[in-house]
Structure 1
Amino acid sequence: MAVEPSRGRKVLRGIRNPFYAAQRTFRPSRPGIVHDGQVRRLQLWRTGLGLAAWVGLTVAYKAAVSAADVKAAADDRLDQSWSSVLVLVCTLPLVVGAFVAAAKGPLRRVYLRRALRPLGAVLAVMASMGTSALAMAPELAGFREAVGLPGKIVIAVLCLWSVGFALYGIGLSLVHVFRTADIHEVVPPVLAGVLVWEMALSDVVTGAYPQVPPAVRAAFILGAPVTVTALSWWEMRRLRVHHGLTVRDALGR
């Protein structure tokens, strides 16, 4: 009986605080999951250094020389993060599906059940981004007029809450790879490696960072997948050495 009030307080806190709600939605929380402080710190360092490298590249090659350029660069970075999430959304079912299909016997059912939380995280970030359309899309102007001033206030509050939830959620989704550790601890490093090489290929195809000299551009684009691949290998090794977790054992083989 004592658990229910605590659960109710958490729900209310999530309703009031979009950042707390994002933490509850996008951070892995499976009972018995391995929490490794070194892996967590390295993930945060990787994200911070990636942002610092992008800022340094932008400043060094004068991609941002005015307030308007800074805003455009920030919008570009946000679009890039959103693109990463969209690529991850498309890649996730393929990698998870292959992982589940390769698992033996009853493990398949276990992993399918655990995959519901990552799927919920995907749906949550997509739904939260969709609320901006409700507030700003010209096609929905008639709806906004129909609901009147009270409805517009509700939409505005919902949009503000969703923006905070979505922006923080995008960051957490990239760090925790859509909480796929809830399926198994070995899934996030595998999925992160696939994702980062897909993004590098996308940068090459779309001609990202055109203002940067070709040699520096190539080093910058390849730096991310090489670094993340090395990090993923180190994470897999740490899971094997310190926690006895391997892909072979995860698949029951």
Structure 2
Amino acid sequence: MWWLTVALVLFYEVARSARSVARRFFPWRPQGRVEDVPVLRAQRVRAWVALVVSGGLLAVYGGMSDAWEQFLQRLYLAPWLALASAVLVAGALYGAARPHRRRLMRTHFKSAGLRILGYAGAWILLPALLIGSLLAMSAMLEPVAQTSLLLAYLIVLALWTPFWWTVHFVCFASGPAVRNAFSLSALHPALPPLTTSAAVWVFVLVSQLTGDLPPFPEPIALCAVTGGPVSVTAVACWEIYRLRRHHGMQWRG
């Protein structure tokens, strides 16, 4: 079983390395992120309620295939929509800021921009690495395997290591990146909740333009489509209220 042991050890080290880099790029608590415990609790409760409601609707009315398609669509579109929303919201807040505040905000644009480029590059690189690994393996593996199985095994590990490292990087980076508006929270404390609200509404609009309502009765389907964005926006508005009331946030200051 040595071949399995080597693969598992390499898989662990790849995941560990990708997680370390992802946490350096997108820390859980970046500069400028205000941690408000009541808001965090409300966000967790909202997320669990949404999960339970979605599971209950699927259990009662079915539509697992549609749910799986929507999940794949959400998995692919959500980071890009969140990124676009973060950039647009950051631009709006920068335009509304006072001149002295703009000078401070500009100092954070470069570092945040490099992180955003790295994250977008990883998503773009994933399909290229997948196709390249498959083509290289089909071209090299058969002639090499006829001479040495050990060499063929090492080639497979070497070919697939970059792909799986990038997969782990994207997985570990996506959560804190989307939650903290791609580390743009240093520009303005209100940027993460505003970005989240904008992203969920844009996602609903795109989903409805490219697909149909869920396979539920029409009133329930409408509630299922709008319930998530409305609840996210409500929590975001409460977070902004607490930022202004308890943390001294100013829109232009």
TM-score in terms of structure 1 length:
0.75
SS at match of 1:115: helix
The CA deviation string for residues 154-175 of structure 1, in whole angstroms up to 9 with x for no partner, is 3412222221221232233333
Q: Residues of 2 paired with 1:48 and 1:177: CA distance?
A: 21
Partner of 1:77: 71
| 2:46 is aligned with 1:46 | yes
Instruction: Please name the residue that 1:7 is paired with.
Output: none
Partners of 1:162 and 1:189 in 2: how far apart? 28
Q: Give the Å deviation of 1:121.
A: 3.6
Post-superposition shift, 1:181? 1.6
Where 2:63 maps in the other structure, the secondary structure is coil
Aligned residues of 2:137 and 2:156 also touching (Cα < 8 A): no
**Structure 1 letter corresponding to 2:167:** V
Matched, 1:221 2:225: yes
Deviations 1:126-178 (A, max 9, x none): 22223432332279836985899666533412222221221232233333332
Quick check: 2:93–2:188 contact (8 Å CA) kept in 1?
Answer: no
Alignment of 1:138-149 (within 5 A): 141=135, 145=139
Are the aligned partners of 2:133 and 2:159 in contact in 1 as well (CA < 8 Å)? no
The whole-number CA distance in structure 2 between the counterparts of 1:191 and 1:197 is 10
Contact 1:43–1:175 (8 Å) recurs in 2: no
1:1-253 correspondence runs (5 A): 16-26=16-26, 27-30=28-31, 33-64=33-64, 69=65, 73-74=67-68, 76-137=70-131, 141=135, 145=139, 153-247=157-251, 251-252=252-253
The code of the aligned residue for 2:118 comes to A
Separation (CA, whole Å) in 1 of partners of 2:43 and 2:181: 11
Give the CA RMSD over aligned residues: 3.1
- Alignment-mate amino acid for residue 57 of structure 1: L
> Which stretch of structure 1 is more off in the superposition, 137-146 or 82-91?
137-146
For 1:56, give the aligned amino acid.
G
Q: Distance in 2 between matches of 1:118 and 1:188?
A: 14
Asked if structure 1 preserves the Cα contact closer than 8 Å seen for 2:14 and 2:165, the reply is no
Amino acid at match of 1:102: A
Mean Cα displacement is larger for which, 228-237 or 203-212?
203-212
Judging changes above 3 Å, is the alpha-carbon distance between structure 1 residues 105 and 233 closer, same or farther for their aligned structure 2 residues?
same
User: Which residue in the other structure is 1:10 paired with?
Assistant: none
Say which is worse superposed, 73-82 or 223-232, in terms of deviation.
Answer: 73-82
Indicate the larger mover: 13-22 or 188-197: 13-22
Tell me, which stretches of 5 or more residues in structure 2 are unaligned?
A: 1-12, 145-151
Q: How far, CA to CA, are the matches of 1:189 and 1:179 in structure 2?
A: 13
CA distance in structure 2 between the aligned counterparts of 1:142 and 1:94, rounded to whole angstroms: 40
CA contact (8 A) 1:22 1:168 kept: yes
Q: Report how many aligned residue pairs link the two structures.
A: 230
Deviations 1:200-237 (A, max 9, x none): 22232223444222211110111112111111110011
**Which structure: larger Rg?**
2
Q: What TM-score, normalized to structure 2?
A: 0.75
